[in-house]
Amino acid sequence: MKTIVTYFFASALLFTGLNAAAQGVDPKFAAIHKQFYLQFPKTITFVQKTENYRADTLFRTQTWYEAGSLPNLFRIDIGDPKDGNAVIYRGDSTYNFRKGKLARATVDPNILVYLLGGMYFQTIDQVQQKMKTDGFDLSKSYHTKWNGRDVDVFGTATADSTKSQLWYDSREHYLVRMMQQTPESHLECHFSQHQKTGKVWHEGYVKILVNHKLVQTETYSDFKINVQLDPSFFEPSKFGTWHWLK
């Protein structure tokens, strides 16, 4: 009991020193954010083995080439970059290219770009507002186990799979599970095989489920940070003029 009391007392002291605008954020989540705030690399690149599933059956395997310029730029080249099939995320906008030409531009933010790095370039009150808009209540939390490790769950005070929530490893503070519930669907992502690069962790394997059905797995390799990336690489109007693999 003494250990538990000491832990919560320390958390309370830490909380009093955080941004007053974030009073609605659970102190444990605020501490995670503070640990990695402005510590993430500005740019990342990696290669991804992508496996797609339908009715629990693998039907396609591809290699994707991915690059990010945090906090809000990300690009995925699907298959050989020379084929011109890619997706560019710019904040809340998504640009889909097929065979070198823009096929579709939509308002469709990628929440994982934000959760896995982008949010650590914003203040805690900005993060709180963004996550509230996306359906996550960061004032609620509970403690449980996930794959044999202690985790802190933010977004609900009890086990409730109908609530949008974020699961963080209690010791290392990396994201291990995310559930986002909307009126249309239930998105769930599992993150594992974490490795530490510099001061931050990055996941090596991701499992994605939609409406509780496995749709995709991702295996990462050749992860690099602070790579020099030409800004035009994330500019839709200049698509195809430059690539980080060259």
Does pLDDT of 144 surpass 80? yes
Instruction: Determine, yes or no, domain membership for 243.
Output: no
Confidence at residue 23, expressed as pLDDT on a 0 to 100 scale: 59
Instruction: Determine, yes or no, domain membership for 210.
Output: yes
Confidence at residue 14, expressed as pLDDT on a 0 to 100 scale: 42
Distance CA 125, CA 182 (A): 23
Does pLDDT of 19 surpass 50? no
- pLDDT tens-digit series, residues 189-235: 999 999 998 889 999 999 999 999 999 999 999 999 999 999 999 99
Distance CA 42, CA 68 (A): 8
Does pLDDT of 170 surpass 60? yes
Confidence at residue 2, expressed as pLDDT on a 0 to 100 scale: 40
Does pLDDT of 155 surpass 90? yes
Instruction: Determine, yes or no, domain membership for 244.
Output: no
Question: Total domain count for the chain?
Answer: 1
Distance CA 91, CA 114 (A): 9
Confidence at residue 109, expressed as pLDDT on a 0 to 100 scale: 86
Instruction: Determine, yes or no, domain membership for 246.
Output: no
- Does the CA dihedral 42-165-6-149 come out positive or negative? negative
% of the chain with per-residue pLDDT over 70: 90
Does pLDDT of 16 surpass 60? no
pLDDT band at 22 (very low <50, low <70, confident <90, very high): low
Computed over every residue of the chain, the mean pLDDT equals 90
Domain that holds residue 180: 2-238
Instruction: Determine, yes or no, domain membership for 70.
Output: yes
Q: 132-143 burial by CB neighbour count: b if 16+ within 10 A, else e?
A: eeeebbbbbbbe
Confidence at residue 241, expressed as pLDDT on a 0 to 100 scale: 85
In contact, 212 and 46? CB cutoff 8 Å: no
Confidence at residue 227, expressed as pLDDT on a 0 to 100 scale: 93
Confidence at residue 243, expressed as pLDDT on a 0 to 100 scale: 86
Instruction: Determine, yes or no, domain membership for 205.
Output: yes
Instruction: Determine, yes or no, domain membership for 19.
Output: yes
In contact, 35 and 18? CB cutoff 8 Å: no
Instruction: Determine, yes or no, domain membership for 20.
Output: yes
pTM: 0.88
Q: CATH number for the domain including 192?
A: 2.50.20.10
